[in-house]
Structure 1
């Protein structure tokens, strides 16, 4: 698969300026400045890794009426402020979402970003790196981005976006973070395509001989798609920190990031939808040099307003807090660079249970009844009655 070098960007007080890719030696000389800018966490400070599919705003008007993107994107900036991640991958980012992110004072003060557009020429709607076609993945990082590139993946116009950072000042530990959004829909053909798309990324990253993370809406609809984790020797952050036998990483929480039982926006967006799936993942390469200090958690998993159906997205986000060394022997940690045997066994069983590969479709009765109900709601909303 093709690799394309990208720019990164940093707010300089007046604009999002293009950052020249740092070499390791240049990084050393810039370290003092970086610390003064509050972009490099202290050694003892955990590294918070996060991901979220924000749900794009480039759909037809009747979908936009249900998902109310302006309200959701306004929440997104506040959500990032409250979560305060060290590095975050976002999927389905459009020009409008990027504009909100670029104008957020907290993001300007704290993050490097992998895509930008000229705020003085908004009508042009052109992004510097060309990643949003019409939506795509971006990375925001408090850590300086030493290298940024995009990877083409099979059967998709979207690119996987990769940033190289140092996660440990003392050990000079460089790693790659990849934000990726694979092909959607629950069909056997698409399951095979998703597996290939992830292999495409691995084939680019593995030869670089550095640990890496692939995170985002990987759209793993079927349980047997856990084979992606087993075959690539990944450590799945949620599984590792919830399916283990080790306390407190053993609560067996299923971790559904697409959950129609909890996310009240989904039925308004996709009438008749009733599934619960672990679509979003944070996957670490084997040997990743860090430890989780708490179970992987969800964010963006509450309504924007308590008395309304609207959620930040149709997906819940994930985040995990890491340290690169364990200094407190009384603190519970678990490696995210070496698979827990009990977790590996569960994922292996899921991977082997591949007899049900049916394409997901709503039944005719359910589809008709939900569509009629939804059309009534749309009409009432358009008339101001809802």
Structure 2
């Protein structure tokens, strides 16, 4: 079977790329092992989607179909250091409606999946798994486990940090484990969060409260593996008490709404995000520490940039040729490297170290908080990423 583009991976990055190509004169195949599904209650996988990516999802027709009752704007962000440092942002001061929007991963994925199913230029192969990948001068050939061969001018790896596609293409990524896990859970809270997000840089990691609709929050606690295991072993009431204490009782008593879950944290850098007839997007191309909340936003931006280039290219231009793909790599390199460097640096800066460094980093937060020009630059970068 012949296509212009084969996308391997039906997560948010791969699906958003496929849907963004709905008006392009390109035939697209999307290979995924399992169709997305919604959990019975709230999804434990919650993302803070930047305004730039809300606009992208609106442009491709997905955002407007999400249930508004399950979306929540972040109108303020309160950051606290481990020794009195603070940094506060508000949407009002930035002149925008929201600093970001909280949305469930499964809701976005299911909506994008349904959109892709309706697209005339998209063929879904699901359930399906890749078995072999070969590159020829004029095309790439992806062979599925059931023996079907998909031939395309361009293969897009969107199959996550442990990407089979990236490895099959011979691109060896560099992984840097943080020795931490990201613990996630949802809670009902006694006090209203007023659409504010909170983040604490603590001796035991970084804890974030993200607002959900109503009087509920989702947390991400990036903490050392041993501490994470200790928290997961607690009874629900004691786990709630520990999260309350870690968040300075900011939202009062917490009641567990979804069971806690955890995943290992690691930085992943790929030496390149393209090869002849191959492009990497999303976590297949890069991962970052979740303290910035920008992992999914980088993936959406990859999809947006590549879709824009593919839709605008003249018909005589081969989308799998190195010259075309180098333009995509250049377009994304600066943002990715900058965000990886900043988040990795912050994680190291706030890791338990000497009292002197603790005073310096908290002083830095306070100084930034007192300089509106610097704060506005940080906010503008976050809004546009």
State TM-score, norm by structure 2.
Answer: 0.25
The structure with more helix, counted as a fraction of residues: 2
The structure with more strand, counted as a fraction of residues: 2
Q: Which structure has more RCO (C-alpha within 8 Å, separation ≥ 6)? A: 2
State TM-score, norm by structure 1.
Answer: 0.25
